[in-house]
Chains A and B, each alone.
Chain A
Amino acid sequence: MKILLIFNICIFLYVIPTKGYSQNAIVVKYDFYHVRDSLQPQKIYYEEMMLVANATNSLYKSYALFAFDSVMKRKQLNKNETNVVNIPKGTTEQIFTNFSNNEIIYIKPWLGDTFGIRLPLKEIEWQLIDSSKKIGNLICYKAIGMFKGRKYTCWYCPEIPVKSGPWKLMGLPGLIVNATDEKGHVSFRLTSLWQNNTEKIYIPNITSYITETKFEEMKEALLANPGAALGTDVGGGKLNFQKSGNSKAKTKVNNPLELTEF
């Protein structure tokens, strides 16, 4: 009897969520395409992104980072694992949205710290279009809206009643399934979607909350005087970041995601 009781308590403790936001999240994988250099439209940046959303919150981040976090969690549980895990390449910024507070938090890792930038949620003025199509087995409706200097055509699915969408696109009466800007330079496409009762939406441990302006100032300070910014003195001299020969080969970003501030 005692064993049964202990067993039931264990199950109960296991089932009750200990922290994190409410359960019953949906997990969405998006393919993200971005022509970073408009002079070279054939060079398309590609990344797999992940959205975890429920009725009140959502978290959007790189799928590679999501997979990395899963491995790290497993390693914390299994301390015997000593092998090196490579830090994933790709987008490091995460976007956490709290629809209850109408707040969006940009989570930016920076030199070992994680900074949070809180901003009020700005609603996009969506124009609902009387047009529908089936994407996978989802019946989706069309909407058009301007955001950050780009005119997006979105397909949203009212059957999935969350405000969220990829990146900062949100606020439609259903999950945003696909979104493409009118020039075809930016595109988000849902590739898979499932519901996960155990997936919780966590805000990563944030070192401190700062303003966007302060964050930009920190970045500029590092480039101007890395030694001072890092708090290290290199033989009394100045540590310089020199452009290596390879930097020329990097894709130019003359076509950022956000063309305007609003």
Chain B
Amino acid sequence: MKIFCLPFIISLFCFKNSNCQKTIEGSVKDSLKKNIVNAAVTIKLYPSKSIIAYTYTNEYGLFKIKISEKYANSNLILSVNSLNFEPFEEVLEYNKIKASDYYIILKASNNRLSEVIVQSKVPVYANKDTLNYNVDKFSNKYDRTIGDILKKLPGIEVTPDGTIKYEGKPINKFYIDGKDLLSGRYNIATSNVPSDAVEKVQVLEKHQPIKILDSFATSNRAAINLVLKEKAKKKRIGKAKIGLGYPLVSTDMESVPLFFSNSHQTIGTIKYNNIGKNYANEFNQLYTDNSNILISTYSAYGEIVNINKPQAQGLDFDKFYINKQLSTSINQIRITKKNNELKYFIDYVDDINKIKGNTTTKMYFINDTFNISEENNLRDSKKILNGNIQYQVNKQKLNFSNNFNFRLKQLNSNSYITSPREIDLFLTFKHFEVSNIANFLFRKGKQLFTSNFLFGITSQPQSLLVKNFLYDTIFTSKSNPASVTQDIFLKSFFVDINSSWTIKLTNSINLFNNLNFGHVKSSFQSGIYAKSQDSSFVVKQGFSNNFTFNTLILNKKTGININFKKTDFSLSFPINLTNIHSNNEKKISVNYNNSFIGLVATMSHKLNNKWKFSTYYGKSFIVMPSFLATNNYILYNHRVLQNHNSLTRFAQNINTEFFLNYRNLSKNLFLNLSLRYSEGNNNPINNNRFINTINIITYIPGLINRSTKSIIVTSNRYIPKIKSSITFQTTYLQNISDNYNNYTTTKFYNHQYQIGLKLNSTIHKIIFENELKYNYYKNRSQNNNSTSFKTIEFFNTIKVPVNSNLFITTNSIYNALKQQNSPFVKVLFTDFFVTYSIYKWKTDLEFGVQNAFNQKYFTAATFFGNTKTVNEIELRPLQALIKATFFFR
């Protein structure tokens, strides 16, 4: 009987329950009485709006929704929502709910959902060979350019000149949205692309920029790509700045328009300042795509005469540079309909700058120490026009590019030396260079053929006028002419033809053969002229040169590339044959022949997802430009007179590098160990002799040996919770070099130990950027005569928000130098800025006071080989500036 009763009792409960649960039924239609399908119907608690039940309308626009009895005492909201309709809400009382009289009409809405961007929770993640940094995770509201972000990214190092390094190695490409707009002048991007225009910074590991080479050659360098936000594309963005202040009239102005789209990118810059900023360093070429060793070596060494320039290592230019600088550049890339690239850039710099300082040079020899001290007022006036036009077809089976470069430079320097005696130096240097290089690469089956053709011409006339220096009777039979002028005319013409053939033996192994033919024809004339106030002096024999050089270089390289998934290996044997033929003005010909076999090996191996290592070994040979090997003397600067009794100068080098890299992305931790060793020798050895105050260097047959060792360990970690990054770096450098005096060799050992700690952190919305560097330099000769000095550098920036519009920035730099037997020289620099952001006008107003120092001079010391140089540089005066920066977003 009990068993029969049980279902009855249960059914009673069920009946009771179903009676208490309320059901709402209804329909949802639009204003034209059409059914709205899949509208979300929800019941929410009032007032918390927690959803307790939901359903969707069916194909007839009908809905049925049940509400549990437990909400009997609650007030409820019936809510209906559908895309593109205005939401409907009605407050219900549970007890008054009726079953089926809900006939809801939704009004159409023209309001679109506003775009939503949600920050990804991961600051760094890897996707195959691409490392992605989400910029939003590293940025704060004080950041203005992408350069501000890059220096905070773990695993990436930005050196003071702007070079970006990943895993201790400089990058080989810098892309903006996949396009190489700037051809290595990427300081333009890091200084000007707004940080809020960039969504991600990508590191493309083992990046091979030429598509056709992708499976034929590997690269152990990485590239950087800035992935732009959609909102930054297809419209003009950029900034314009006006800054004026004291001392009257300090000026800092710029205008930087930028435009990025899929088919076109443009960056223009125009900047003028007289507050010590060196904006022209944005145009520094930090990598080159089409460099030719011949033309770059000849251009670099072509600036022969010079004036000593006081240096201030580790100090920003705007602390001591008195300048007037105009720098402007236009950079554009266009992608044609056939997906080829046409790009060009033109840079122009007009820079007048002054540096005042005191330079003390000590040269240590076994028995002697030479000491030269000069107080120098240097004024440089420099005009540079530099440009490039490039067209590139970069396809999987074909690559063609043509590069046309030009460069015009004029430098006028004047150095007025006040102590120990008044000397006037005038330097004029002009540089004109035009070159064109065409590259052609194509694939046929498993074979790759490449050819390059370069021609170029450079002209570098220059002169050094020295007034009132004591030259005794070095140049003339009568002592001390009032002025001596060194004139040089140098012209070179280059042709370089390169061809190579690579065959793919298997998917992983390639063999390659490369043949290069280079020809340089140079003409070099130099002469010294001496004058008194009213007449010319007759200059002795041995101070004029008149040569033509024909340099022929034949280079053959055979090698193998092996690329497995985790391991890349490359080995090549360059063979170098050089012939130099020279004619002097007396038509006397001299021939020089040299052959050299080198070896270049690289290897990289990925141990697992965290560890990898790479090595490099290279044995190479460089023939220096022949004009460095002059028979007769050249006055290089007012104190150095040098000749060379050989036709050539050459250098042999062995470079070895080892990198061990660790990264743990879940902990945002990067560790790098780099070991470098290089040794080399070059001819000639020099004999340093001093006559009065002039250093005469004469040639002695033989070789100068030198070697360099370095060990750098870097640890870099980012802690997302407190938006902080910590970098710890220790460096050891050793330089060993031979120094000759009185036919005796002395080895000198220069050691540098550096410990650096860098902190970037955000604590309670206050930004702290700190960097501490401790350097210890020890220099020892083989006879154990040693000297040492140490420096401490501390950089501290604090940004404090006052309210949402206003923040205060203080920069302070503490620099201390302790030389042996001297007290500490301490300099404290402080800058102070108040920035007010008017978001409505996208404008920053800034008031800044800069260059408040406790010293008038900054002292910097360096030691290289047997030479110690101490520079005392006069610092800029106190300045106050009001700036308005307008951002176009």
A binds B: yes
A86 nearest in chain B by CB position: B396
The verdict on B391 contacting chain A, using a C-beta distance below 8 Å, is no
Q: Find the residue from A43, A56, A128, A158 having the highest chain B CB count within 10 A.
A: A158
Minimum CB–CB distance for B520 against chain A, Å:
39
Interface footprint category on B: 35 or more
Is A42's CB under 8 angstroms from B666's CB?
yes
CB distance from B438 to the nearest CB of A (A): 21
Report chain A residues within 8 Å CB of B838.
Answer: none
Q: Does A213 contact B (CB under 8 A)?
A: no
Pairwise interchain contact B52-A55, C-beta atoms closer than 8 A: no
In the bound assembly, the distance between CA atoms of A191 and B118 in angstroms comes to: 5
- Residue B56 CB within 8 A of the other chain: yes
Q: Do A78 and B337 have beta carbons less than 8 Å apart?
A: yes
- Answer whether A128 and B39 are a contact pair too, CB < 8 Å, given A42-B664, A161-B81: no
Contact with B along A181-200 (1 / 0, CB 8 A): 00000000111111101000
B residues near A44, Cβ cutoff 8 Å: 125
Selected from A26, A80, A194, the residue in CB contact (under 8 A) with B83 is A26
Binds B, one of A130-138, A202-210, A214-222, A235-243: A130-138
Partner of B113, one of A56, A160, A174: A160
In angstroms, how far is the closest chain A Cβ from the Cβ of B878? 46
Q: Is B112 an interface residue (CB 8 A)?
A: yes
Contacts of B120 in A (CB 8 A): 31, 189, 191
CB of A158 within 8 A of CB of B112, answer: no
A24 to B117, CA, bound (A): 19
Tell me which of B116, B339, B666 contacts A194 (CB under 8 A).
B116
Interface membership of B127, Cβ < 8 A: yes
CB of A194 within 8 A of CB of B81, answer no
Structural contact, A192 and B127, CB atoms closer than 8 A: no
The verdict on B586 contacting chain A, using a C-beta distance below 8 Å, is no
Residues on B with beta carbons closer than 8 Å to the beta carbon of A194 = 113, 115-116
B50 at interface, CB cutoff 8 A: yes
Which B residues touch A80, using CB under 8 A? 337-338
| CB of A261 closer than 8 Å to a CB of B | no
Closest residue of chain A to B125 (Cβ to Cβ) is A46
Q: Smallest distance from the beta carbon of B662 to chain A beta carbons, Å?
A: 13
Q: Which residues of B contact A135 (CB under 8 A)?
A: 118
Nearest chain B residue, comparing its CB with the CB of A178: B118
Give complex CA distance A31, B125 in Å: 11
Main secondary structure of the interface of A (DSSP, over half): loop
Residues of B within 8 A of A56 (CB): 37-38
Instruction: Pick the most buried of B36, B51, B337, B396: most chain A CB atoms within 10 A of its CB.
Output: B51
Name the contact of B338 in the complex, choosing from A81, A99, A132, A162 (C-beta under 8 A). Answer: A81
- Pick the residue among B82, B114, B565, B666 that contacts A161 (CB under 8 A): B82
Inter-chain contact A24/B84, CB cutoff 8 Å: yes
A55 neighbours in B (Cβ, 8 Å): 36-39, 82-83
Q: Is the CB of A189 within 8 A of B115?
A: no
CB distance from B745 to the nearest CB of A (A): 54
Which chain B residue has the least Cβ–Cβ distance from A131?
A: B50
B contact face: mostly helix, strand, loop, or mixed: loop
Does B537 sit within 8 A of A, measured CB to CB? no
> Is B59 at the interface (CB under 8 A from chain A)?
yes
B54 at the interface (CB under 8 A from A): yes
Interface residue ranges of B626-674 to A (CB < 8 Å): 664-666
Report the nearest A residue to B112, measured CB to CB.
A195
Interface residues of B in 338-360 (CB under 8 A from A): 338-339
User: Considering the chains assembled together, what is the distance between the CA atoms of A197 and B84 in angstroms?
Assistant: 10
B96: A residues at CB distance < 8 A: none
CB distance from A135 to the nearest CB of B (A): 6
Contact with A along B58-82 (1 / 0, CB 8 A): 0100000000000000000001011
- In the complex, chain A residues whose CB is within 8 Å of the CB of B82: 55, 161
In the complex, what residues of B have CB within 8 A of residue A130's CB? 48, 50
Q: Are B118 and A195 in contact (CB under 8 A)?
A: no
The answer to whether the Cβ of A83 comes within 8 Å of any Cβ in the partner chain is: yes
Q: Is the CB of B42 within 8 A of A173?
A: yes
CB proximity of A202 to chain B, nearest CB, Å: 18
Chain B residues lying within 8 Å of A36, measured Cβ to Cβ, are none
Return chain B residues, CB-CB under 8 Å to A193. 113, 115-116, 118
Q: How far is the CB of A72 from chain B (nearest CB, A)?
A: 14
Contacts of B59 in A (CB 8 A): 100
Name B475-513 residues within 8 Å CB distance of A. Answer: none
B113/A163 in contact, CB under 8 A: no
Instruction: Judge whether B125 and A26 touch: CB under 8 Å.
Output: no
Give the distance to chain B from A167, nearest Cβ to Cβ, in Å: 18
Query: B609 at the A/B interface (Cβ < 8 Å)?
Result: yes
Report if A3 contacts B (CB, 8 A): no
- Among A89, A132, A173, A174, the one with the most B-chain Cβ atoms within 10 Å of its Cβ is A173
In which size bucket is the chain A interface?
35 or more
Q: CA A141 – CA B50 in complex, angstroms?
A: 8
Given A78-B337, A191-B118, CB of A26 within 8 Å of CB of B113: yes
Q: How far is the CA of A130 from the CA of B37 in the complex (A)?
A: 27
Which of A83, A100, A137 contacts B37, CB < 8 Å? A100
Interface assignment of A84: CB less than 8 Å from any CB of chain B = yes
A54 to B48, CA, bound (A): 28
A99 touches B38 (CB 8 A): yes
- Quote the shortest CB–CB distance from B342 to chain A (angstroms): 15
Give CA–CA (A67, B339) in the complex, Å: 17
Residue of A44, A55, A128, A192 contacting most chain B CB atoms (<10 Å):
A55
Identify the closest chain A residue to B83 (Cβ).
Answer: A55
Q: With A and B bound together, what is the CA distance between A42 and B51 in angstroms?
A: 37
On chain A, the residues within 8 Å of B444 by CB distance are none
CA distance A161 to B566 in the complex (A): 48
Given contacts A83-B338, A173-B51, A192-B116, contact A162 B609 (CB under 8 A): no
- Contact across chains for B118 and A189 when beta carbons are under 8 A apart: yes
Closest to A173 in B: B54
By the criterion CB–CB under 8 Å, are B56 and A163 in contact?
A: yes
For residue A260, CB closer than 8 A to chain B, the reply is no
Is A6 positioned at the interface, with any CB of B under 8 Å from its CB?
no
A132 vs B44: C-alpha distance when bound (angstroms): 13
Query: Contacts of A162 on B, CB cut-off 8 Å?
Result: 38, 83
B421 at the A interface (CB under 8 A):
no
Q: Which residue of A lies closest to B337 (CB)?
A: A80
CB neighbours of A160 from chain B (8 A): 83, 113
In the bound complex, how far is the Cα of B82 from the Cα of A54, in angstroms?
Answer: 10
Which residue of chain A lies nearest to B132 when distances are taken between CB atoms in the complex? A46
- Interface core residue of B41, B52, B83 (most chain A CB under 10 Å): B83
Q: CB distance B40 to A173 under 8 Å?
A: yes
> Which of B39, B113, B337, B664 neighbours the largest number of chain A CB atoms within 10 Å of its CB?
B113
B83-136 with Cβ < 8 A to chain A:
83-84, 112-122, 125-128
User: CA–CA, A56 to B37, complex, Å?
Assistant: 7
Nearest B-chain residue to A82, judged by Cβ:
B338
User: How distant is A38 from chain B, measured CB to nearest CB, in Å?
Assistant: 15
For residue B34, CB closer than 8 A to chain A, the reply is no
Q: Is A249 an interface residue (CB 8 A)?
A: yes
User: For residue A128, which residues in chain B have a CB less than 8 angstroms away from its CB?
Assistant: 50-52, 54
Residues of B within 8 A of A177 (CB): 118
Identify A84's interface contact among B39, B395, B566, B665, CB under 8 A. Answer: B395
A81 and B664 contact, CB distance less than 8 A? no
- The answer for the CA separation of A100 and B112 in the assembled complex, in Å, is 24
> Within residues 25 to 40 of chain B, which ones have a CB less than 8 A from any CB in chain A?
36-40
B114 to chain A minimum Cβ distance, whole angstroms, is: 8
Known: A130-B50, A138-B116. A163 touches B42 (CB 8 A): no
A246 lies within 8 A of chain B by Cβ: yes
> Apart from A81-B338, A132-B50, A194-B113, what are 9 other A-B pairs with CB-CB below 8 Å?
A24-B83, A89-B128, A128-B52, A128-B54, A130-B50, A138-B118, A173-B42, A194-B115, A197-B112
6 contacts between A and B (CB under 8 A): A31-B122, A81-B337, A83-B339, A84-B396, A173-B51, A193-B118
> Which positions in A face B, CB cutoff 8 Å?
24, 26, 31, 33, 42-44, 46-47, 54-56, 78, 80-84, 89, 99-100, 128, 130, 132, 135-138, 141, 158-163, 172-174, 177, 189-195, 197, 246, 249
Q: Which 6 residue pairs across A and B have the least CB separation, nearest first? A: A161-B81, A173-B54, A83-B339, A136-B118, A161-B40, A193-B116
